[in-house]
Structure 1
Amino acid sequence: MAGASKRFARAARRAAESCLLLALATLPTGARCGTIETEHLFGFTIGSDVGDVGERELEGSVTGRFAKRNGLYGATESTMSAEFVPIANLRTEITGAVVSYDIAGVSGLADQRYAAFGGLSADIRYRLLDRASAPFGLAVGAEPHWGRADEVTGEPGRQYGVDFVAAADWEIVPDRVVAAFNLLYQPETMRSNMTGTWSQESTAGIAFAVMAQVRSGIFVGGEARYLRKYDGLGLDALAGQGFFIGPTIYVKLSEKAWITVAWSAQAAGQATASSAGALDLVNFERRQARVLFGVNF
Protein backbone atom coordinates (compact mmCIF):
# COMPACT_ATOMS: atom_id res chain seq x y z
CA MET A 1 0.00 0.00 0.00
CA ALA A 2 2.81 2.38 0.84
CA GLY A 3 4.35 1.88 -2.61
CA ALA A 4 1.01 2.41 -4.38
CA SER A 5 0.35 5.52 -2.29
CA LYS A 6 3.75 6.95 -3.18
CA ARG A 7 3.24 6.19 -6.87
CA PHE A 8 -0.14 7.88 -6.87
CA ALA A 9 1.19 10.87 -4.94
CA ARG A 10 3.90 11.33 -7.56
CA ALA A 11 1.37 10.97 -10.39
CA ALA A 12 -1.07 13.36 -8.72
CA ARG A 13 1.67 15.92 -8.13
CA ARG A 14 2.71 15.68 -11.78
CA ALA A 15 -0.90 16.16 -12.87
CA ALA A 16 -1.34 19.15 -10.54
CA GLU A 17 1.97 20.64 -11.67
CA SER A 18 0.96 20.15 -15.33
CA CYS A 19 -2.34 21.96 -14.74
CA LEU A 20 -0.55 24.79 -12.94
CA LEU A 21 2.13 25.10 -15.65
CA LEU A 22 -0.56 25.13 -18.33
CA ALA A 23 -2.42 27.83 -16.43
CA LEU A 24 0.72 29.92 -16.06
CA ALA A 25 1.71 29.39 -19.68
CA THR A 26 -1.61 30.71 -20.92
CA LEU A 27 -1.63 33.81 -18.70
CA PRO A 28 -1.83 36.98 -20.82
CA THR A 29 1.04 39.47 -20.71
CA GLY A 30 -0.98 42.61 -21.24
CA ALA A 31 -4.38 44.06 -20.38
CA ARG A 32 -7.26 42.57 -22.32
CA CYS A 33 -10.91 43.51 -22.46
CA GLY A 34 -12.97 40.70 -20.98
CA THR A 35 -15.91 39.81 -23.22
CA ILE A 36 -16.80 36.34 -21.96
CA GLU A 37 -19.00 36.13 -18.86
CA THR A 38 -17.51 33.44 -16.57
CA GLU A 39 -19.87 33.65 -13.59
CA HIS A 40 -21.83 30.53 -14.62
CA LEU A 41 -19.67 29.16 -17.41
CA PHE A 42 -18.22 26.16 -15.55
CA GLY A 43 -19.72 23.16 -13.77
CA PHE A 44 -17.30 22.44 -10.92
CA THR A 45 -14.90 25.39 -11.29
CA ILE A 46 -15.67 28.99 -10.29
CA GLY A 47 -15.14 32.04 -12.51
CA SER A 48 -14.12 35.50 -11.30
CA ASP A 49 -17.10 37.41 -12.72
CA VAL A 50 -19.80 38.39 -10.22
CA GLY A 51 -22.49 40.13 -12.29
CA ASP A 52 -23.56 43.74 -12.64
CA VAL A 53 -24.75 46.07 -9.86
CA GLY A 54 -28.44 45.54 -9.13
CA GLU A 55 -28.55 42.16 -10.88
CA ARG A 56 -31.01 39.65 -9.44
CA GLU A 57 -31.08 36.01 -10.38
CA LEU A 58 -32.71 32.73 -9.45
CA GLU A 59 -30.36 29.77 -9.81
CA GLY A 60 -30.86 26.05 -9.45
CA SER A 61 -28.58 23.03 -9.49
CA VAL A 62 -28.71 19.26 -9.33
CA THR A 63 -25.51 17.43 -8.35
CA GLY A 64 -25.27 13.65 -8.39
CA ARG A 65 -22.47 11.49 -6.98
CA PHE A 66 -22.38 7.83 -7.93
CA ALA A 67 -20.56 4.52 -7.29
CA LYS A 68 -18.31 3.28 -4.51
CA ARG A 69 -16.11 0.18 -4.39
CA ASN A 70 -19.09 -2.16 -4.09
CA GLY A 71 -22.83 -2.13 -3.53
CA LEU A 72 -25.23 0.59 -4.63
CA TYR A 73 -24.35 4.23 -3.99
CA GLY A 74 -26.21 7.32 -5.16
CA ALA A 75 -26.32 10.76 -3.52
CA THR A 76 -28.08 13.79 -4.97
CA GLU A 77 -28.26 17.41 -3.88
CA SER A 78 -30.76 19.81 -5.45
CA THR A 79 -30.49 23.52 -4.65
CA MET A 80 -32.36 26.73 -5.31
CA SER A 81 -30.57 30.06 -4.83
CA ALA A 82 -31.40 33.77 -4.87
CA GLU A 83 -28.50 35.96 -6.02
CA PHE A 84 -28.13 39.73 -5.68
CA VAL A 85 -25.28 42.13 -6.56
CA PRO A 86 -25.69 45.08 -4.12
CA ILE A 87 -22.51 46.98 -5.05
CA ALA A 88 -19.83 46.78 -7.71
CA ASN A 89 -17.73 43.58 -7.57
CA LEU A 90 -19.71 42.00 -4.70
CA ARG A 91 -21.95 38.98 -5.27
CA THR A 92 -24.24 37.61 -2.54
CA GLU A 93 -26.35 34.46 -2.59
CA ILE A 94 -28.67 32.51 -0.28
CA THR A 95 -29.26 28.81 -1.01
CA GLY A 96 -31.55 26.08 0.24
CA ALA A 97 -30.89 22.39 -0.48
CA VAL A 98 -32.74 19.08 -0.68
CA VAL A 99 -30.65 15.89 -0.45
CA SER A 100 -31.41 12.26 -1.23
CA TYR A 101 -29.46 9.06 -0.62
CA ASP A 102 -29.78 5.54 -2.02
CA ILE A 103 -27.08 3.45 -0.35
CA ALA A 104 -27.15 -0.34 -0.04
CA GLY A 105 -24.42 -2.90 0.51
CA VAL A 106 -21.50 -0.43 0.48
CA SER A 107 -18.57 -1.50 2.68
CA GLY A 108 -18.18 0.79 5.69
CA LEU A 109 -21.50 2.62 5.15
CA ALA A 110 -24.91 2.01 6.70
CA ASP A 111 -27.77 1.51 4.26
CA GLN A 112 -29.66 4.75 3.66
CA ARG A 113 -32.67 5.51 1.51
CA TYR A 114 -34.39 8.85 2.02
CA ALA A 115 -34.90 12.39 0.73
CA ALA A 116 -35.08 15.42 3.01
CA PHE A 117 -34.38 19.10 3.44
CA GLY A 118 -30.58 19.27 3.42
CA GLY A 119 -29.64 22.67 4.81
CA LEU A 120 -28.81 26.30 4.04
CA SER A 121 -25.78 28.22 2.80
CA ALA A 122 -24.74 31.80 2.02
CA ASP A 123 -22.21 32.62 -0.70
CA ILE A 124 -20.24 35.89 -0.60
CA ARG A 125 -17.82 36.56 -3.47
CA TYR A 126 -15.72 39.66 -4.13
CA ARG A 127 -13.89 40.45 -7.37
CA LEU A 128 -10.44 41.94 -6.81
CA LEU A 129 -9.41 42.24 -10.47
CA ASP A 130 -11.65 42.75 -13.52
CA ARG A 131 -10.51 41.33 -16.87
CA ALA A 132 -11.82 44.49 -18.55
CA SER A 133 -8.98 46.47 -16.98
CA ALA A 134 -6.47 43.83 -15.85
CA PRO A 135 -4.58 40.98 -17.54
CA PHE A 136 -6.80 38.46 -15.72
CA GLY A 137 -9.79 38.33 -13.41
CA LEU A 138 -9.40 37.46 -9.74
CA ALA A 139 -12.04 36.87 -7.06
CA VAL A 140 -12.16 35.46 -3.54
CA GLY A 141 -15.17 33.89 -1.90
CA ALA A 142 -16.52 32.22 1.24
CA GLU A 143 -19.60 30.02 1.51
CA PRO A 144 -20.61 29.17 5.09
CA HIS A 145 -23.11 26.32 5.21
CA TRP A 146 -25.20 24.28 7.61
CA GLY A 147 -26.32 20.77 6.72
CA ARG A 148 -28.42 18.01 8.23
CA ALA A 149 -26.45 14.97 7.04
CA ASP A 150 -22.93 13.79 6.33
CA GLU A 151 -22.22 14.46 2.66
CA VAL A 152 -20.67 11.04 1.96
CA THR A 153 -22.43 8.62 4.33
CA GLY A 154 -25.85 10.28 4.48
CA GLU A 155 -25.82 9.82 8.27
CA PRO A 156 -28.15 12.37 9.94
CA GLY A 157 -26.41 15.01 12.00
CA ARG A 158 -25.53 18.67 12.26
CA GLN A 159 -22.81 19.75 9.87
CA TYR A 160 -21.13 23.16 9.75
CA GLY A 161 -18.46 24.35 7.37
CA VAL A 162 -17.09 27.06 5.11
CA ASP A 163 -15.94 26.69 1.51
CA PHE A 164 -13.14 29.15 0.70
CA VAL A 165 -12.04 29.78 -2.89
CA ALA A 166 -9.62 31.97 -4.83
CA ALA A 167 -10.60 32.08 -8.50
CA ALA A 168 -8.63 33.45 -11.46
CA ASP A 169 -9.60 33.43 -15.13
CA TRP A 170 -8.35 34.91 -18.39
CA GLU A 171 -9.22 34.84 -22.08
CA ILE A 172 -6.62 32.90 -24.06
CA VAL A 173 -8.32 33.94 -27.30
CA PRO A 174 -10.53 37.04 -26.88
CA ASP A 175 -14.24 36.20 -27.11
CA ARG A 176 -13.36 32.57 -27.99
CA VAL A 177 -11.38 30.63 -25.39
CA VAL A 178 -11.26 31.20 -21.64
CA ALA A 179 -9.36 29.40 -18.86
CA ALA A 180 -9.92 29.38 -15.10
CA PHE A 181 -7.90 28.25 -12.08
CA ASN A 182 -9.14 27.74 -8.50
CA LEU A 183 -7.54 27.19 -5.10
CA LEU A 184 -9.90 25.48 -2.62
CA TYR A 185 -10.05 24.96 1.15
CA GLN A 186 -13.14 23.49 2.82
CA PRO A 187 -13.10 22.83 6.61
CA GLU A 188 -16.13 21.08 8.13
CA THR A 189 -17.29 19.79 11.50
CA MET A 190 -20.22 17.50 12.27
CA ARG A 191 -22.12 16.14 15.26
CA SER A 192 -23.69 12.72 14.70
CA ASN A 193 -27.34 12.34 15.74
CA MET A 194 -26.74 8.65 16.48
CA THR A 195 -23.65 8.87 18.71
CA GLY A 196 -23.55 12.53 19.72
CA THR A 197 -19.84 12.70 18.87
CA TRP A 198 -18.16 15.49 16.92
CA SER A 199 -15.82 14.93 14.00
CA GLN A 200 -13.74 17.32 11.90
CA GLU A 201 -12.39 17.09 8.37
CA SER A 202 -11.14 19.37 5.62
CA THR A 203 -10.62 19.31 1.87
CA ALA A 204 -7.96 21.18 -0.08
CA GLY A 205 -7.46 21.22 -3.81
CA ILE A 206 -7.05 22.92 -7.13
CA ALA A 207 -9.29 23.09 -10.20
CA PHE A 208 -8.50 24.02 -13.79
CA ALA A 209 -10.93 24.53 -16.69
CA VAL A 210 -10.83 25.57 -20.34
CA MET A 211 -13.95 26.50 -22.36
CA ALA A 212 -14.20 27.42 -26.05
CA GLN A 213 -17.10 29.23 -27.75
CA VAL A 214 -18.11 27.05 -30.72
CA ARG A 215 -21.19 29.10 -31.60
CA SER A 216 -22.61 32.32 -30.22
CA GLY A 217 -23.64 31.58 -26.61
CA ILE A 218 -22.48 27.93 -26.71
CA PHE A 219 -19.25 26.86 -24.97
CA VAL A 220 -17.72 23.39 -24.70
CA GLY A 221 -14.62 22.33 -22.81
CA GLY A 222 -13.36 20.39 -19.84
CA GLU A 223 -12.49 20.63 -16.17
CA ALA A 224 -9.90 18.89 -13.99
CA ARG A 225 -9.73 18.82 -10.17
CA TYR A 226 -7.20 17.44 -7.72
CA LEU A 227 -8.66 17.07 -4.20
CA ARG A 228 -7.06 15.98 -0.93
CA LYS A 229 -9.19 14.96 2.07
CA TYR A 230 -7.80 15.37 5.60
CA ASP A 231 -8.85 14.43 9.12
CA GLY A 232 -9.03 17.62 11.20
CA LEU A 233 -9.82 21.21 10.31
CA GLY A 234 -6.18 22.20 9.80
CA LEU A 235 -5.20 19.61 7.17
CA ASP A 236 -3.90 17.43 10.01
CA ALA A 237 -3.71 13.89 8.58
CA LEU A 238 -4.20 12.88 4.96
CA ALA A 239 -7.20 10.58 4.52
CA GLY A 240 -7.22 10.31 0.73
CA GLN A 241 -6.82 12.05 -2.60
CA GLY A 242 -8.50 11.98 -5.98
CA PHE A 243 -8.03 13.41 -9.46
CA PHE A 244 -11.22 14.14 -11.44
CA ILE A 245 -11.61 15.10 -15.09
CA GLY A 246 -14.52 15.47 -17.49
CA PRO A 247 -16.38 17.54 -20.10
CA THR A 248 -18.58 20.63 -19.65
CA ILE A 249 -21.06 22.42 -21.91
CA TYR A 250 -22.68 25.83 -21.38
CA VAL A 251 -25.64 27.15 -23.39
CA LYS A 252 -27.09 30.65 -23.20
CA LEU A 253 -30.77 29.94 -23.76
CA SER A 254 -31.81 33.59 -24.02
CA GLU A 255 -30.70 37.02 -22.83
CA LYS A 256 -31.86 36.08 -19.32
CA ALA A 257 -31.56 32.28 -19.11
CA TRP A 258 -28.66 29.80 -19.22
CA ILE A 259 -27.79 26.16 -18.46
CA THR A 260 -24.52 24.33 -17.73
CA VAL A 261 -24.02 20.55 -17.76
CA ALA A 262 -20.83 18.87 -16.46
CA TRP A 263 -19.62 15.31 -15.96
CA SER A 264 -16.57 14.31 -13.93
CA ALA A 265 -14.94 10.92 -13.31
CA GLN A 266 -12.22 9.95 -10.86
CA ALA A 267 -9.25 9.04 -13.05
CA ALA A 268 -6.76 8.43 -10.22
CA GLY A 269 -6.88 8.27 -6.45
CA GLN A 270 -5.77 6.59 -3.25
CA ALA A 271 -7.36 6.30 0.20
CA THR A 272 -4.83 6.03 3.02
CA ALA A 273 -7.10 3.70 4.99
CA SER A 274 -7.66 1.26 2.13
CA SER A 275 -5.41 -0.79 -0.13
CA ALA A 276 -8.20 -1.92 -2.46
CA GLY A 277 -7.78 -0.52 -5.96
CA ALA A 278 -6.18 2.60 -7.38
CA LEU A 279 -9.03 5.03 -6.66
CA ASP A 280 -10.16 6.74 -3.45
CA LEU A 281 -13.72 5.46 -3.20
CA VAL A 282 -13.80 5.96 0.57
CA ASN A 283 -13.75 9.76 0.65
CA PHE A 284 -14.93 10.38 -2.93
CA GLU A 285 -17.10 8.80 -5.60
CA ARG A 286 -16.27 7.20 -8.94
CA ARG A 287 -18.44 9.60 -10.95
CA GLN A 288 -20.05 13.01 -10.43
CA ALA A 289 -22.51 14.98 -12.57
CA ARG A 290 -23.90 18.48 -12.28
CA VAL A 291 -26.61 20.55 -13.98
CA LEU A 292 -26.85 24.28 -13.24
CA PHE A 293 -29.41 26.74 -14.60
CA GLY A 294 -30.52 30.29 -13.93
CA VAL A 295 -32.79 33.16 -14.90
CA ASN A 296 -32.08 36.89 -14.48
CA PHE A 297 -34.88 39.28 -13.64
Structure 2
Amino acid sequence: MKRSFSILSLLTQGTGLLALALALGGNPPARADENLFGFVRGAETLPKGHYDVYQTVTLRTGKDVGVYRGWDSDTEVEYGFTDKLQGSLSLVNRYIYNRGVEELDDTNHLTFGGFEGTTKYRILSPFKDPFGLAVRLETGWLLHDEVAGLLEHEIYVAPEIIVQKNFLDDTLITELNFGGEWAWGKDPAEQYYKEFSLQGGVGVTYRIAPKWFVGLEGHARGEWPLFNFNLFEHSVVYAGPAIHYATERWWVTLSYNYQIYGHGIDELPRTQTFAEETRHEIRFKVGFNF
Protein backbone atom coordinates (compact mmCIF):
# COMPACT_ATOMS: atom_id res chain seq x y z
CA MET A 1 0.00 0.00 0.00
CA LYS A 2 2.85 2.37 0.82
CA ARG A 3 4.51 1.73 -2.59
CA SER A 4 1.20 2.20 -4.43
CA PHE A 5 0.64 5.45 -2.58
CA SER A 6 4.11 6.70 -3.58
CA ILE A 7 3.55 5.97 -7.30
CA LEU A 8 0.14 7.65 -7.17
CA SER A 9 1.68 10.68 -5.49
CA LEU A 10 4.40 10.95 -8.15
CA LEU A 11 1.83 10.72 -10.94
CA THR A 12 -0.31 13.37 -9.29
CA GLN A 13 2.66 15.65 -8.76
CA GLY A 14 3.86 15.11 -12.34
CA THR A 15 0.45 15.97 -13.74
CA GLY A 16 0.34 19.10 -11.64
CA LEU A 17 3.81 20.19 -12.80
CA LEU A 18 2.85 19.63 -16.45
CA ALA A 19 -0.30 21.71 -16.02
CA LEU A 20 1.72 24.44 -14.33
CA ALA A 21 4.29 24.44 -17.14
CA LEU A 22 1.58 24.78 -19.76
CA ALA A 23 -0.06 27.57 -17.81
CA LEU A 24 3.27 29.43 -17.61
CA GLY A 25 3.85 29.27 -21.33
CA GLY A 26 4.65 25.68 -22.20
CA ASN A 27 2.21 25.79 -25.12
CA PRO A 28 3.86 26.40 -28.48
CA PRO A 29 3.30 29.91 -29.85
CA ALA A 30 0.45 30.43 -32.28
CA ARG A 31 1.50 29.96 -35.88
CA ALA A 32 0.66 32.73 -38.29
CA ASP A 33 -0.74 32.10 -41.74
CA GLU A 34 1.96 30.93 -44.15
CA ASN A 35 1.99 31.76 -47.87
CA LEU A 36 2.40 28.32 -49.44
CA PHE A 37 2.37 29.86 -52.93
CA GLY A 38 3.82 32.91 -54.58
CA PHE A 39 0.68 34.16 -56.33
CA VAL A 40 -2.23 32.27 -54.72
CA ARG A 41 -3.50 33.07 -51.21
CA GLY A 42 -4.94 30.88 -48.46
CA ALA A 43 -8.04 31.37 -46.31
CA GLU A 44 -6.45 31.31 -42.84
CA THR A 45 -5.98 34.52 -40.82
CA LEU A 46 -3.62 35.67 -38.09
CA PRO A 47 -4.54 35.06 -34.44
CA LYS A 48 -5.75 38.10 -32.52
CA GLY A 49 -2.90 40.36 -31.41
CA HIS A 50 -0.26 38.73 -33.63
CA TYR A 51 1.47 40.36 -36.56
CA ASP A 52 3.67 39.34 -39.47
CA VAL A 53 6.27 41.15 -41.55
CA TYR A 54 6.53 40.05 -45.18
CA GLN A 55 9.02 40.89 -47.89
CA THR A 56 8.07 39.98 -51.45
CA VAL A 57 10.35 40.40 -54.47
CA THR A 58 9.01 39.65 -57.96
CA LEU A 59 11.04 39.52 -61.16
CA ARG A 60 9.09 39.91 -64.42
CA THR A 61 11.27 39.23 -67.44
CA GLY A 62 11.15 38.11 -71.07
CA LYS A 63 9.54 40.10 -73.89
CA ASP A 64 9.04 39.20 -77.54
CA VAL A 65 12.09 41.32 -78.48
CA GLY A 66 14.72 43.20 -76.50
CA VAL A 67 15.82 42.84 -72.90
CA TYR A 68 13.35 43.56 -70.11
CA ARG A 69 13.54 43.13 -66.34
CA GLY A 70 10.93 44.51 -63.98
CA TRP A 71 11.61 44.10 -60.25
CA ASP A 72 8.74 44.68 -57.80
CA SER A 73 9.42 45.02 -54.06
CA ASP A 74 6.54 44.79 -51.59
CA THR A 75 7.22 45.29 -47.87
CA GLU A 76 4.14 44.44 -45.81
CA VAL A 77 3.11 44.50 -42.14
CA GLU A 78 0.05 42.40 -41.25
CA TYR A 79 -1.93 42.42 -37.96
CA GLY A 80 -4.67 40.22 -36.51
CA PHE A 81 -7.45 42.41 -35.10
CA THR A 82 -9.48 39.32 -34.17
CA ASP A 83 -8.99 35.62 -34.84
CA LYS A 84 -11.04 36.08 -38.01
CA LEU A 85 -10.14 39.61 -39.17
CA GLN A 86 -6.72 40.84 -40.21
CA GLY A 87 -5.39 43.91 -42.00
CA SER A 88 -2.14 44.97 -43.61
CA LEU A 89 -0.26 47.93 -45.06
CA SER A 90 2.53 47.67 -47.61
CA LEU A 91 5.08 49.83 -49.39
CA VAL A 92 5.70 49.18 -53.10
CA ASN A 93 8.85 50.01 -55.06
CA ARG A 94 9.89 49.14 -58.63
CA TYR A 95 13.09 48.84 -60.62
CA ILE A 96 12.69 48.78 -64.40
CA TYR A 97 15.37 47.92 -66.97
CA ASN A 98 14.65 47.57 -70.67
CA ARG A 99 16.62 47.81 -73.90
CA GLY A 100 15.11 47.47 -77.35
CA VAL A 101 11.60 46.56 -76.15
CA GLU A 102 8.84 47.43 -78.62
CA GLU A 103 6.69 50.46 -77.67
CA LEU A 104 8.82 51.15 -74.57
CA ASP A 105 11.59 53.70 -74.21
CA ASP A 106 14.94 52.36 -73.05
CA THR A 107 15.23 52.91 -69.32
CA ASN A 108 17.17 51.86 -66.24
CA HIS A 109 15.73 53.37 -63.08
CA LEU A 110 14.24 52.80 -59.62
CA THR A 111 10.81 54.29 -58.93
CA PHE A 112 8.48 54.60 -55.96
CA GLY A 113 5.47 52.39 -56.64
CA GLY A 114 2.97 53.48 -53.99
CA PHE A 115 1.02 52.16 -51.01
CA GLU A 116 -1.39 49.24 -50.65
CA GLY A 117 -3.73 48.13 -47.89
CA THR A 118 -5.76 44.94 -47.40
CA THR A 119 -8.31 43.42 -45.05
CA LYS A 120 -9.23 39.73 -44.90
CA TYR A 121 -12.13 38.15 -43.02
CA ARG A 122 -12.22 34.40 -42.47
CA ILE A 123 -15.71 32.89 -42.59
CA LEU A 124 -14.66 29.23 -42.33
CA SER A 125 -11.36 27.73 -41.17
CA PRO A 126 -9.62 25.16 -43.42
CA PHE A 127 -8.36 23.41 -40.27
CA LYS A 128 -11.64 23.28 -38.31
CA ASP A 129 -14.41 23.30 -40.94
CA PRO A 130 -15.01 21.14 -44.04
CA PHE A 131 -13.23 23.83 -46.07
CA GLY A 132 -11.81 27.30 -45.60
CA LEU A 133 -13.58 30.40 -46.90
CA ALA A 134 -12.48 34.03 -46.67
CA VAL A 135 -13.19 37.37 -48.31
CA ARG A 136 -10.41 39.84 -48.98
CA LEU A 137 -10.44 43.49 -50.01
CA GLU A 138 -7.34 45.22 -51.36
CA THR A 139 -6.98 48.89 -52.20
CA GLY A 140 -4.05 51.09 -53.07
CA TRP A 141 -2.57 54.24 -54.51
CA LEU A 142 0.14 53.74 -57.14
CA LEU A 143 2.34 56.57 -58.43
CA HIS A 144 4.22 54.65 -61.15
CA ASP A 145 3.05 51.75 -63.31
CA GLU A 146 4.68 48.31 -63.29
CA VAL A 147 5.35 48.04 -67.03
CA ALA A 148 7.73 50.95 -67.65
CA GLY A 149 7.69 52.87 -64.37
CA LEU A 150 5.69 55.67 -66.00
CA LEU A 151 3.84 58.31 -63.99
CA GLU A 152 0.26 57.60 -63.03
CA HIS A 153 -2.09 58.33 -60.14
CA GLU A 154 -3.90 55.03 -59.88
CA ILE A 155 -6.43 54.28 -57.17
CA TYR A 156 -7.86 50.78 -57.21
CA VAL A 157 -10.24 48.51 -55.31
CA ALA A 158 -9.97 44.71 -55.61
CA PRO A 159 -12.39 42.38 -53.76
CA GLU A 160 -11.58 38.65 -53.74
CA ILE A 161 -13.03 35.32 -52.60
CA ILE A 162 -10.62 32.73 -51.21
CA VAL A 163 -11.39 29.01 -50.88
CA GLN A 164 -9.04 26.47 -49.27
CA LYS A 165 -9.44 22.72 -48.84
CA ASN A 166 -7.00 20.53 -46.91
CA PHE A 167 -6.65 16.76 -47.33
CA LEU A 168 -4.71 13.89 -45.70
CA ASP A 169 -4.33 15.53 -42.28
CA ASP A 170 -3.30 18.87 -43.81
CA THR A 171 -0.48 17.39 -45.88
CA LEU A 172 -2.22 18.06 -49.21
CA ILE A 173 -3.52 21.63 -49.52
CA THR A 174 -5.50 23.25 -52.34
CA GLU A 175 -6.30 26.96 -52.68
CA LEU A 176 -8.54 28.89 -55.08
CA ASN A 177 -8.81 32.68 -55.54
CA PHE A 178 -11.21 34.68 -57.69
CA GLY A 179 -11.95 38.40 -57.82
CA GLY A 180 -12.11 41.65 -59.75
CA GLU A 181 -10.36 45.01 -59.78
CA TRP A 182 -11.61 48.52 -60.53
CA ALA A 183 -8.84 51.03 -61.20
CA TRP A 184 -8.95 54.79 -61.86
CA GLY A 185 -6.20 57.26 -62.79
CA LYS A 186 -4.08 54.96 -64.97
CA ASP A 187 -3.27 57.80 -67.37
CA PRO A 188 -0.85 59.14 -68.55
CA ALA A 189 0.96 55.79 -68.19
CA GLU A 190 -1.81 54.14 -70.21
CA GLN A 191 -4.17 55.32 -72.92
CA TYR A 192 -7.31 54.82 -70.81
CA TYR A 193 -7.87 56.49 -67.45
CA LYS A 194 -9.86 53.63 -65.91
CA GLU A 195 -9.92 49.85 -66.26
CA PHE A 196 -11.68 46.74 -65.00
CA SER A 197 -10.04 43.33 -64.67
CA LEU A 198 -10.99 39.81 -63.64
CA GLN A 199 -8.29 37.75 -61.96
CA GLY A 200 -7.90 34.44 -60.20
CA GLY A 201 -5.52 31.67 -59.24
CA VAL A 202 -5.37 28.05 -58.14
CA GLY A 203 -2.69 26.02 -56.37
CA VAL A 204 -2.09 22.54 -54.99
CA THR A 205 0.85 21.62 -52.76
CA TYR A 206 2.01 18.58 -50.79
CA ARG A 207 4.16 18.29 -47.67
CA ILE A 208 7.03 16.07 -48.83
CA ALA A 209 8.91 16.30 -45.50
CA PRO A 210 8.62 18.14 -42.18
CA LYS A 211 8.65 21.90 -42.91
CA TRP A 212 8.72 21.38 -46.72
CA PHE A 213 5.88 21.82 -49.24
CA VAL A 214 6.22 21.41 -53.02
CA GLY A 215 3.39 22.21 -55.42
CA LEU A 216 2.04 23.79 -58.58
CA GLU A 217 0.13 27.04 -59.00
CA GLY A 218 -1.30 29.21 -61.74
CA HIS A 219 -2.89 32.62 -62.04
CA ALA A 220 -4.82 34.43 -64.78
CA ARG A 221 -5.95 37.97 -65.57
CA GLY A 222 -8.14 39.68 -68.16
CA GLU A 223 -8.50 43.46 -68.65
CA TRP A 224 -11.24 45.71 -70.10
CA PRO A 225 -10.58 49.49 -70.36
CA LEU A 226 -13.29 51.99 -69.41
CA PHE A 227 -15.18 49.22 -67.52
CA ASN A 228 -16.52 48.16 -70.91
CA PHE A 229 -16.74 44.42 -71.67
CA ASN A 230 -16.95 45.26 -75.39
CA LEU A 231 -13.51 46.91 -75.18
CA PHE A 232 -11.24 43.92 -74.51
CA GLU A 233 -7.53 44.68 -74.00
CA HIS A 234 -5.72 41.43 -73.14
CA SER A 235 -5.84 38.18 -71.17
CA VAL A 236 -3.01 36.03 -69.82
CA VAL A 237 -2.47 32.73 -67.98
CA TYR A 238 0.64 31.78 -66.00
CA ALA A 239 1.56 28.46 -64.32
CA GLY A 240 4.53 26.81 -62.65
CA PRO A 241 6.05 25.23 -59.53
CA ALA A 242 6.22 26.57 -55.97
CA ILE A 243 8.36 25.44 -53.03
CA HIS A 244 7.79 26.44 -49.40
CA TYR A 245 9.86 26.00 -46.22
CA ALA A 246 8.72 27.01 -42.73
CA THR A 247 10.00 27.10 -39.16
CA GLU A 248 8.14 28.22 -36.05
CA ARG A 249 9.04 31.89 -36.51
CA TRP A 250 9.76 32.39 -40.21
CA TRP A 251 9.08 30.92 -43.64
CA VAL A 252 10.17 31.33 -47.27
CA THR A 253 8.40 30.64 -50.57
CA LEU A 254 9.86 30.56 -54.08
CA SER A 255 7.57 30.38 -57.12
CA TYR A 256 8.17 30.38 -60.87
CA ASN A 257 5.33 31.00 -63.34
CA TYR A 258 5.60 30.78 -67.13
CA GLN A 259 3.15 32.44 -69.52
CA ILE A 260 1.36 29.44 -71.01
CA TYR A 261 -1.26 31.53 -72.82
CA GLY A 262 -1.78 35.16 -73.72
CA HIS A 263 -3.84 37.18 -76.16
CA GLY A 264 -3.90 40.93 -76.68
CA ILE A 265 -5.95 43.16 -78.95
CA ASP A 266 -4.12 44.44 -82.07
CA GLU A 267 -1.25 41.99 -81.48
CA LEU A 268 0.02 39.52 -84.04
CA PRO A 269 -1.67 36.08 -83.90
CA ARG A 270 0.23 34.04 -81.30
CA THR A 271 -0.29 32.29 -78.00
CA GLN A 272 1.48 34.86 -75.78
CA THR A 273 1.03 38.57 -75.11
CA PHE A 274 3.85 41.01 -74.33
CA ALA A 275 2.44 44.55 -74.41
CA GLU A 276 1.98 44.56 -70.60
CA GLU A 277 2.99 41.01 -69.68
CA THR A 278 6.23 39.02 -69.65
CA ARG A 279 7.19 35.45 -70.44
CA HIS A 280 8.48 34.67 -66.92
CA GLU A 281 7.44 35.68 -63.40
CA ILE A 282 9.62 34.67 -60.45
CA ARG A 283 8.48 35.50 -56.93
CA PHE A 284 10.36 35.16 -53.63
CA LYS A 285 8.61 35.69 -50.28
CA VAL A 286 9.95 35.66 -46.74
CA GLY A 287 7.74 36.09 -43.67
CA PHE A 288 8.48 36.60 -39.97
CA ASN A 289 5.86 35.75 -37.35
CA PHE A 290 5.44 37.71 -34.10
Match of 2:140 in 1: 145
1:238 to 227, 232, 236: 232
CA distance in 1, matches of 2:131, 2:32: 13
CA distance in 1, matches of 2:188, 2:223: 23
Match of 1:129 in 2: 124
Secondary structure of the residue aligned to 1:75 is strand
Aligned partners of 1:189 and 1:198 also within 8 Å: no
CA RMSD of aligned residues (A): 2.0
Aligned length: 260
Aligned partners of 2:113 and 2:144 also within 8 Å: yes
Q: Which runs of 5+ in 1 are unaligned?
A: 1-35
Cα distance, 1:59 vs. partner? 0.9
Q: Does 1:65 align with 2:72?
A: no
Aligned partners of 2:192 and 2:226 also within 8 Å: no
1:273 to 244, 266, 276: 266
Match of 2:216 in 1: 222
Cα distance, 1:213 vs. partner? 0.2
CA distance in 1, matches of 2:81, 2:234: 40
Cα distance, 1:43 vs. partner? 0.8
Judged with a 3 Å threshold, the aligned counterparts in structure 2 of structure 1 residues 121 and 73 are, in CA distance, closer, same or farther, namely: same
Cα distance, 1:235 vs. partner? 4.4
Q: Does 1:213 align with 2:207?
A: yes
Rg (Cα) greater in structure: 2
Aligned partners of 2:32 and 2:289 also within 8 Å: no
Secondary structure of the residue aligned to 1:237 is coil
Match of 1:90 in 2: 85
Judged with a 3 Å threshold, the aligned counterparts in structure 2 of structure 1 residues 38 and 224 are, in CA distance, closer, same or farther, namely: farther
Cα distance, 1:193 vs. partner? 5.6
Once the two structures are superposed, residues 101-140 of structure 1 have per-residue CA deviations (whole angstroms, 9 ceiling, x without a partner) of 1122211222222102211111111111112332100111
Aligned partners of 1:112 and 1:154 also within 8 Å: no
Secondary structure of the residue aligned to 2:262 is strand
Cα distance, 1:38 vs. partner? 5.6
CA distance in 2, matches of 1:274, 1:43: 29
Amino acid corresponding to residue 255 of structure 1 in structure 2: E
Amino acid corresponding to residue 248 of structure 2 in structure 1: E
CA distance in 1, matches of 2:262, 2:40: 20
Match of 1:4 in 2: none
Q: Spell out structure 1 runs of 4+ moving beyond 6 A.
A: none
Once the two structures are superposed, residues 51-90 of structure 1 have per-residue CA deviations (whole angstroms, 9 ceiling, x without a partner) of 2111111111101111121112111111211111011211
Identity of aligned residues (%): 23
Match of 1:179 in 2: 174
Match of 2:244 in 1: 250
Match of 2:159 in 1: 164
Cα distance, 1:278 vs. partner? 1.8
Aligned partners of 1:94 and 1:123 also within 8 Å: yes
Q: Which runs of 5+ in 2 are unaligned?
A: 1-30
Within a 5 Å distance, the mapping from 1:198-209 to structure 2 comes to 199-209=193-203
Judged with a 3 Å threshold, the aligned counterparts in structure 2 of structure 1 residues 173 and 194 are, in CA distance, closer, same or farther, namely: closer
Match of 1:17 in 2: none
Amino acid corresponding to residue 249 of structure 1 in structure 2: I
Secondary structure of the residue aligned to 1:44 is coil
CA distance in 2, matches of 1:152, 1:193: 13
